[in-house]
Amino acid sequence: MTNTNQTQGRIVLQANQVRKSFGSKLNSTEVLKGINLQVREGEFVGIMGPSGAGKTTLLNVLATIDRPTSGTITIDGNETSKMKDAQLSKFRRDKLGFIFQDYNLLDTLTVKENILLPASLGGLSKKAAEEQFNDFAGILGIKEHGHKYPHEISGGQKQRTSAARALVNHPSMVFADEPTGALDSKSASALLGTLEDVNKSRGVTIMMVTHDAVASSYCSRVIFLKDGSMYSELYRGDKTRQAFFQDILNMQAVLGGDRVDAR
Amino acid sequence: MTLVDLVLRSMRKNLKHYYLYFFALIFGVTLFFIFSTLQHDSSVVEQTDLSAKMASGFQAATVLLFGILLIFVTYANDLFLKRRSREIGLYQLVGLTKGAVSRLLIIENILLGAGAFIVGLGAGLLVSRLFLLLLMKLVGYEGFVNLSFSGAAFLQTAVVFAVLIVITSFRMFWKVRRSQLIDLFNDDKKDEHPKQPKPVLSALLGILGVAMIGFGYWFANSTYMLNAFLLLNMLLVLAFVITGTYLVFRVTIGWLMTLVRKNQNGHIGLAGALSIAPLMHRMKANAKSLTVITTLSAMTLAMAGFAYSMYYSTEQETRVWVPHDFLIDEIGEGKEGTSEERAAKFAADLDEAGIGYVMQPITYLELNASYTGDNLPDLLGWEGNTVTANVFDVRQLKAAGLDIEEPKAGEAVIHDSGIAWLLTDEVFPYEASIAAGQTNEKLRVTSLGKREVASGYAGVHSQLTVSGETYDRIKAAAPAETHQLVAFNLADQKDLAEASAIFRPYRGDMTLDFYTTYKESLSYNGIMIFITGFLGLAFLVSTGSILYFKQMSEAEQEKRSYTTLRQLGFRTGEIMKGIRRKQAFVFGIPLVIGLVHSIFAIKSVSFIFMSTDITLPVTIAMMAYALIYLIFAVLTIGYYRKTVHAAL
């Protein structure tokens, strides 16, 4: 069930006129200048743009890690921009999953402990949690490393651990910030392949920030930001990944800056 | 820009790194200056008779104080350097030579030291008066004392502090010299990686650690302890207990946690992820410092508990040695007439002053005796030798007001506080053969009396109390050995001070009155508890601060984890629950082990308290320690809360 048609599926994320400024009132820089965005269930959305375009800020604001200066954000019917901190924490834990560039695994926990950490406060029974672990660790190929510590496994395995941790709670949406940024190309494509797989087979909604055209070619839709505004977007549709990749490169050329090596 | 400019700039920029080290230095100066002032102050020396009694005690304490300050300041210095290693690396990266970098650090250190010296001295001047009042109260001196600025104390503090600064500067120099650029950049994130421990080996070592402590405890309180090798035995116990403690920290705790964690099979939960996991992770690096902290805590607790018990029990313990309020002895320099004659004069003086009393003549027989029994202590060398025994009539002692047990006919009770600790229950009963004139009186010694029955020369040898008939029989056989004492016991203890002044001319060179002895031991024990309390406070603040500093840098290192957890949707409150559990371990384990160590240590020397139950004073001392110690735990948790809160 690929999302060839943008009108298919329930809307998971809706952003209206999202603005974000940093600095004091007198001397502020507007990083996001009124973003409007919809993400439907089962989409795999990439966000691209040159350095300083506001990619990561957008992701943080949408992912409730940061608050917008103005505008509304609704995820799964909940208006997150109006929630209090404590509510937001609970919301993140129950509804969202995160994958970070530098993995953000806890060094003192084993792979399995890291993956099961979000489940610990979710009221999931031990048996159910065990099943979830077996399920996702199996898909991501890290089941046999469950008892190892992060420093004992490779970067790719670490990122897959991080992905399993993001998925184990069955979140409404997974946010990934440059998940392949620290990986070699082989590990990167393995991870992206798995994410694409999970997205297609399980309908998990993913939003990923990347500056890498190869990475974004795995997405079903790529949004281009420039100077804090939406510049354009591309749908993959039925195209092959290679064809989509070419489209993305062309768009980047138009956008200028941030030259990317095609790997 | 000169080096000094650079120093000043970096100091201004790095204030938040400095305050910790600066605090350590100031604390060191203040403590040392107060301590030094008190021992050099002339009024203190006069009032407490310091020069004669406790000068050596103060000196030993000064060395200990310097030792703990050295440990504390070097620890803070190490931490300080570690936090700034990136900066030190950066200086080298931009082309400063190692010599210039160490010069920079040493100039900084000297400037910091000078600042701390001035602040510390000021603080010391302010609070030393408070400590002086406390000391005077403890030694029982009531009156006005004046404290002046002591040049000698200033000089001593300056010298000691200069030594501290030289040592820390040298360590800085050494660290820069030995360092590799790459290490400097990695120093603040250097972490040991957790390893799976070898199960059999850690189980063995883990159990061995506990066993060693257990053996040390058992040995210290066993009969094997008290023999000619007492000192060696004590060292053995120390070695066993300290090594055991190290193993407990290094292996046992980690091993137990591994078992718990294995049992959880990955379902560790948030609280576990923030307590058990980082604790296991750092146990190896922390084992040494936790052992030092535990040992210091145990030492402090034992010292404070013991000193406070001494102080607390002064009156009762003095009664053990000086059973009567006043005793007129027959021997002594400058005494004229028989004891009865002098007693009559003293009684007249008391009557004149309007003081009520009971006067009771006490006679005793100084005889040779030989003891035989199955379990006589080897250390006394009684077996096969003739010893002197003073035989007392229990009727007279009772009439003088002593509360003692009455031996049956043919039996005796031995009173000898000096060797009481050797006369355990299993020594009794034993047979005594007393040479009385031509005959030998056979007595069965059934038990140990709780106290002496007469002080002075009469109390030098073991005293045997016997029933009236037995006494009369022995006296009839050896009338020439009779000695005559007269005991006075006041009707009202309030008159003791006045009566003691009246007694002075009758006293001679022996202290035979309760009041003077009591006052002297009170001032002795007062100084003792002051010194141990002061040292204890220094130890306590040092160990507490070291733990606090350590946890501060751990919090910094773990900040990233807190950020991640907050991003994943864990609330500060939930995270703090795990952190509190970790702090309960970090502070609780050294405290609990230290407490248990000190309880056993005090138990093994508690025999010197003849007639006092020291449970109460020991409990009070330990509670006070634990309470102050826990303040550091609360401070630490506060710091963590700030860190977690700022993490997102």
Closest-approach residue (CA) in chain A for B266: A113
Does the structure show a pLDDT above 90 at B637?
A: yes
Does B273 touch chain A if contact means CB atoms closer than 8 Å?
A: yes
Q: Decide if B4 is inside a domain.
A: no
Does the structure show a pLDDT above 60 at A166?
A: yes
Dump the DSSP string for B125-181.
Answer: HHHHHHHHHHHHHHTT--S-------HHHHHHHHHHHHHHHHHHHHHHHHHHHH--H
* Average pLDDT of chain B to the nearest whole number: 85
Does the structure show a pLDDT above 70 at B49?
A: no
Give the contacts of A170 (CB within 8 A, at least 6 positions apart): none
Nearest Cβ partner for A109 among B265, B277, B569: B277
Does A49 touch chain B if contact means CB atoms closer than 8 Å?
A: no
Contact B568 A92 (CB under 8 A): yes
Contact B273 A98 (CB under 8 A): no
The rounded distance, in Å, linking the Cα atoms of B453 and B451 is 6
CB contact residues (below 8 A), chain B span 185-224, against chain A: 191, 193-194, 196
- 10 Å CB burial of residue B94 (0-12, 13-18, 19+) is exposed
Q: Which amino acid is at B329?
A: D
The superfamily CATH assigns to domain A43-64+81-255 is: P-loop containing nucleotide triphosphate hydrolases (3.40.50.300)
Q: What is the pLDDT of residue A4?
A: 46
Query: How is the beta sheet containing A221-226 ordered, strand by strand?
Result: A96-99, A173-177, A206-209, A44-48, A221-226, A229-235
Query: Torsion angle of alpha carbons A147, A152, A157, A163, nearest 10°?
Result: 60
Contact B281 A107 (CB under 8 A): yes
Domain boundaries, chain A: 43-64+81-255
Give the contacts of B581 (CB within 8 A, at least 6 positions apart): B271, B274, B275
Q: What is the pLDDT of residue A3?
A: 43
Closest-approach residue (CA) in chain A for B275: A108
Query: How is the beta sheet containing A28-40 ordered, strand by strand?
Result: A28-40, A11-23, A70-75, A78-79
Q: What is the pLDDT of residue B524?
A: 84
The rounded distance, in Å, linking the Cα atoms of B613 and B522 is 18
User: Model pTM?
Assistant: 0.82
3-state secondary structure of B468: helix
Of B471, B420, B419, B464, which Cα lies nearest the Cα of B445? Answer: B464
Nearest Cβ partner for A104 among B196, B564, B571: B564
Q: Residue B423 has which token pair?
A: 């006369």
Residue B181 and residue B92 in contact, taking contact as beta carbons nearer than 8 Å: yes
Q: Which amino acid is at B171?
A: R
Contact B569 A93 (CB under 8 A): yes
Higher pLDDT, residue B424 or A53: A53
β-strands A78-79, A70-75 pairing: antiparallel
Neighbours of B177 (CB within 10 A): 11
Instruction: Tell me the nearest-neighbour CA distance from B111 into chain A, angstroms.
Output: 37
Does the structure show a pLDDT above 90 at A205?
A: yes
> What residues of chain A lie within 8 A of the CB of B561, using their CB?
106-108
Residue A232 and residue A201 in contact, taking contact as beta carbons nearer than 8 Å: no
Does the structure show a pLDDT above 60 at B512?
A: yes
Q: What is the pLDDT of residue B409?
A: 85
Give the contacts of A219 (CB within 8 A, at least 6 positions apart): A44, A45, A46, A208, A236
> What residues of chain A lie within 8 A of the CB of B648, using their CB?
65
Average pLDDT for residues A72-95, to the nearest whole number?
90
The rounded distance, in Å, linking the Cα atoms of A35 and A15 is 7
Percentage of chain B modeled with pLDDT above 90: 22
Neighbours of A195 (CB within 10 A): 28
The rounded distance, in Å, linking the Cα atoms of A51 and A245 is 20
Cβ contacts from A onto B, under 8 A: 89
Contact A130 B568 (CB under 8 A): no
The rounded distance, in Å, linking the Cα atoms of A36 and A19 is 10
**What distances in angstroms separate CA B250 from CA A107, A187, B281, B373, one per listed residue?**
20, 38, 11, 49
**ipTM (interface pTM):** 0.85
Does the structure show a pLDDT above 80 at B17?
A: no
Q: What is the pLDDT of residue B510?
A: 66
Of B434, B502, B504, which Cα lies nearest the Cα of B470? Answer: B434
Contact B569 A113 (CB under 8 A): no
Does B564 touch chain A if contact means CB atoms closer than 8 Å?
A: yes
Give the contacts of A141 (CB within 8 A, at least 6 positions apart): A160, A194
Higher pLDDT, residue B612 or B66: B66
Average pLDDT for residues B493-498, to the nearest whole number?
89
Q: Decide if B65 is inside a domain.
A: no
β-strands A28-40, B326-328 pairing: unpaired
> What residues of chain B lie within 8 A of the CB of A120, using their CB?
267-270, 273
With cut-offs at 50, 70 and 90, classify the pLDDT of residue A1. Answer: very low
Q: What is the pLDDT of residue B606?
A: 83
Closest-approach residue (CA) in chain A for B571: A89
Closest-approach residue (CA) in chain A for B282: A108
The rounded distance, in Å, linking the Cα atoms of B145 and B132 is 8
Give the contacts of B411 (CB within 8 A, at least 6 positions apart): B443, B444, B445, B446, B466, B467
pLDDT digits (tens, 9 = 90+) for B29-48: 998 898 888 877 766 666 66
Residue B302 and residue A149 in contact, taking contact as beta carbons nearer than 8 Å: no
Average pLDDT for residues B19-24, to the nearest whole number?
79
* Average pLDDT of chain A to the nearest whole number: 88
Q: Decide if B609 is inside a domain.
A: no
With cut-offs at 50, 70 and 90, classify the pLDDT of residue B51. Answer: low
Average pLDDT for residues B525-542, to the nearest whole number?
87
pLDDT digits (tens, 9 = 90+) for B151-169: 888 999 999 999 999 999 9
| Parent domain of B329 | 325-510
Q: What is the pLDDT of residue A257?
A: 54
Query: Torsion angle of alpha carbons B4, B7, B12, B14, nearest 10°?
Result: 180
pLDDT digits (tens, 9 = 90+) for B310-343: 999 998 888 888 888 998 887 655 566 778 888 8
Contact A110 B193 (CB under 8 A): no
pLDDT digits (tens, 9 = 90+) for B117-154: 999 999 998 888 888 888 888 877 776 777 777 888 89
Average pLDDT for residues A15-22, to the nearest whole number?
92
Does B630 touch chain A if contact means CB atoms closer than 8 Å?
A: no
Average pLDDT for residues B246-252, to the nearest whole number?
92
Does the structure show a pLDDT above 50 at A263?
A: no
Contact B571 A89 (CB under 8 A): yes
Does the structure show a pLDDT above 80 at B110?
A: yes
**What distances in angstroms separate CA B547 from CA B79, B562, B630, one per listed residue?**
12, 21, 11
Residue B165 and residue B113 in contact, taking contact as beta carbons nearer than 8 Å: yes
- ∠ CA A120-B562-B263, rounded to 5°: 35
Contact B568 A126 (CB under 8 A): no
**What distances in angstroms separate CA B161 from CA B64, B65, B118, B534, B637, one per listed residue?**
15, 12, 11, 19, 32
The rounded distance, in Å, linking the Cα atoms of B395 and B640 is 71
Does the structure show a pLDDT above 90 at A234?
A: yes
Average pLDDT for residues A43-63, to the nearest whole number?
91
Contact B568 A98 (CB under 8 A): yes
With cut-offs at 50, 70 and 90, classify the pLDDT of residue A235. Answer: very high
Q: What is the pLDDT of residue B480?
A: 80
Among B260, B566, B568, pick the best mutation site for testing chain A contact (most A Cβ within 10 A): B568
Q: What is the pLDDT of residue B246?
A: 94
Q: Residue B50 has which token pair?
A: 């310091």
3-state secondary structure of A99: strand
The mean-pLDDT minimum among B235-239, B536-540, B609-613 falls in B609-613
Does the structure show a pLDDT above 50 at A260?
A: no
Q: Decide if B426 is inside a domain.
A: yes
Q: What is the pLDDT of residue A13?
A: 94
Q: Could you identify the residue written with the tokens 């733990």?
A: B547
Does the structure show a pLDDT above 50 at A5?
A: no
Contact B191 A112 (CB under 8 A): no
Give the contacts of B99 (CB within 8 A, at least 6 positions apart): none
β-strands A173-177, A28-40 pairing: unpaired
The rounded distance, in Å, linking the Cα atoms of B303 and B528 is 10
Does A83 touch chain B if contact means CB atoms closer than 8 Å?
A: no
Does A173 touch chain B if contact means CB atoms closer than 8 Å?
A: no
Total tally of structural domains belonging to chain B? 1
Give the ranges where A24-151 is alpha helix by DSSP (H): 55-62, 85-95, 111-116, 126-139
Q: What is the pLDDT of residue B223?
A: 73
Q: Residue B180 has which token pair?
A: 């590799």
The rounded distance, in Å, linking the Cα atoms of B103 and B584 is 42
Cα-flanking dihedrals φ and ψ of residue A142, to 5°?
A: -125, 15
The rounded distance, in Å, linking the Cα atoms of B68 and B70 is 5
Highest mean pLDDT among A53-57, B55-59, B557-561, B594-598: B594-598
Average pLDDT for residues B209-215, to the nearest whole number?
94
Does A125 touch chain B if contact means CB atoms closer than 8 Å?
A: no
Does the structure show a pLDDT above 60 at A7?
A: no
Residue A64 and residue A258 in contact, taking contact as beta carbons nearer than 8 Å: no
Contact A106 B566 (CB under 8 A): no
